[in-house]
Structure 1
Amino acid sequence: MTDHSFASLLTPEGRALLDEVRGTAPARELTVATRLRREHPAGLVSAALAQARLRERAAAKFGADAGRMFFTPNGVEQSTRATVAAHRARRLRELGAASVADLCCGIGGDAIALARAGIRVLAVDRDPLTAAAARANAEALGLSALIEVREADVTEVDTSPYDAVFVDPARRGGRGRVFDPEAYSPPLSWAVAAALKAPRAALKVAPGIPHEAVPAEAEAEWISDGGDVKEAVLWFGTEPGLVRATLLPGPRTLRGRGLPDPPVRPLGRYLYEPDGAAIRAHLVAEVAEDLDGGLVDETIAYITADELRASPYATAYEITDRLPFNVKRLKALLREREVGILTVKKRGSAVEPEELRRKVLPRPQGPNAVTVFLTRVAGAPTMLLGRPARRQPTG
């Protein structure tokens, strides 16, 4: 997508064409394109169809708003899910921020959430096309009065007039995802320095960030949405050293209490799978204490207990069988129990779930469902069979 083709979509002709191609099935694109090129420039038709595809992809992150917004391919891939952005915006508002400098704003997803929280936003991105998309999105959603979009290098922006700074560094390079925080663009060290100059700040980072890379001045929050870990946020101007896991929808937040590692205990009736945000935040001990449970193995983040307790931070399963790892034995057991629905989870095992599923259940054999955990129990490779607990905790 070029600056020119994007600009053409913002014209009355482009907007009308976007409405016309909305919902075009992939199988019909060639037919629709051929027809429309008789009446419109070929480049505009191609741009409209490409934008329609991006809007469909973006619906998973932006919901109904995606149908009115404008995207770039990188913008869809890298933008924050709207529910996560809204959580962060609410927290900044609660911290007293009435204005925020949104650095590396992308196509404007976070700026939109901030504006909807009543916060005035300066949204900055150095890429002309990306900045144009952010500006178009602010207009499309009726938020232009609260969002100023500036095409600039974020390292040259004066953020002193703003109550808070939000930085979302690019974490993708020419070879794909970047894991070294100093390889972010801009580097994490620069983002931290910018945060320390502001009364309060939030830095979006990859959820796999090493805990030792978290600055002493920061609070670290890991966020999951619908059970999927989405990101980590380093907060400044809050509680230095605090670690928390936040689950959306909700939000529900588990705060670190500085507990030692949970003890390993014999396998009980129930197995708990902690939410990924709690695992990333190293808060499995807090979850285990709340459940009065222990670990099945000192290196595995599965909690076991004899009683079923309510916790929003873990999913409970009732364990029916414990077997040493043996594919033939598992296959025979599933056939005997007429299992037709098999869920395979693993932690601490090199076996791929899909590979095991093909071997032990090549075709459905009955109406029953089983969950198999490939893991280690007290150091031994083990298969645990179970099912979701009947009285599943709801918190």
Structure 2
Amino acid sequence: MARSSGFREAKGDLRLESVTKSFGDFTAVDDLDLVVPRGSFFALLGPSGCGKTTTLRMVAGLEQPSAGNIFIGETDLTGSRPYERPVNTVFQSYALFPHLTIRDNVAFGPKRRGDRNAMTLADETLQLVQVDHLASRKPAQLSGGQQQRVALARALVNRPEVLLLDEPLGALDLKLRRQLQVELKRIQTEVGLTFIHVTHDQEEAMTMADTVAVMNHGRIEQMGRPADMYDLPLTSFVANFVGRSNLGVGQVVDRDGDNLVAEVQGTKVKVPLARANAKDGTVMFGVRPEKVRVLRSAPEGGGDDVKGTVLDVSFTGVATEYLVRLPSGTVWSCYEQNLDVDPIDLRPGDDVWISWDPAHAFTVAADEAEARAAEEATA
């Protein structure tokens, strides 16, 4: 394997093998194994302190692992310095040179490497990110969104093997952030580089990434296609962090053909075995809010249902959210799309039935605290 030279020429998948990073007694990243295929758009998603930014900094060379190795292809980058790696980073803070024009900002990297085509490369990259008309301006004359595009161009012009995006859209307003999400995906597809996006915003990760890895306490809890992860979370943490879920602790009591039967806070529910990540004992049962229907009267067969009382009604534009308190005291969230077809006129205090198709339910393992609380409640 290449070790002493040729770091910047490294090409291939990004691989982290048994990577751990500790700061004193605190372990930020815990024995992490990860493969990011070359040319993919990959997102590391998780709350503050989960280890995602530390992982990114180790890939960039800004931190060194306490244990383990980082590869691009067959080249071991562990121990190499940031400028030796075929890696560039785009931060939330744009870090542009205020005294240089936009064109000179982008050409800075190629010029430093002695590339005679530096200005041509800068012009082509500014065109790619659609700010070539601003080439002669200074950073202070640009909006936040325009500066972020320039920061992206300054990283892309070097054609790194891996581009790291550290919360790059966090300082932008919602409308501009969504616009740039689409633009980033377009650019990644056009240039074909490996993008690794670090964010705590699950909608942002799911909008752009081919693959999302959810981190928690320095480990990856689940990794996969955004749609698959949303539809079938494998842990209660993922169920709550990627979107929202109505969750309840219950006990598996039976099997009914291809379904598992659980008793959740006094109600028997079914879950297809193929959607049951936990199949025995104490489990966490869940259904996404948009999969739950709110009805004035009891439904006629075909699904699971329970009677409740409306606590709150919130109009959100495309949908109306109902908070419904169940007999157990649990509060469920239910989304009804606003189609103006037989709208339900509900107010707090109204009695309703909530219903869902068992094919949309799932179970995951209940953690120790959840299982203990459930046992105490039924003792």
**Structure of higher RCO (CA pairs closer than 8 Å, 6+ residues apart):** 2
More strand per residue: 2
Report the structure, 1 or 2, having the larger helix content.
1
Task: Give the TM-score category using the shorter length.
Answer: 0.3 to 0.5
Q: TM-score, normalised by structure 2?
A: 0.34
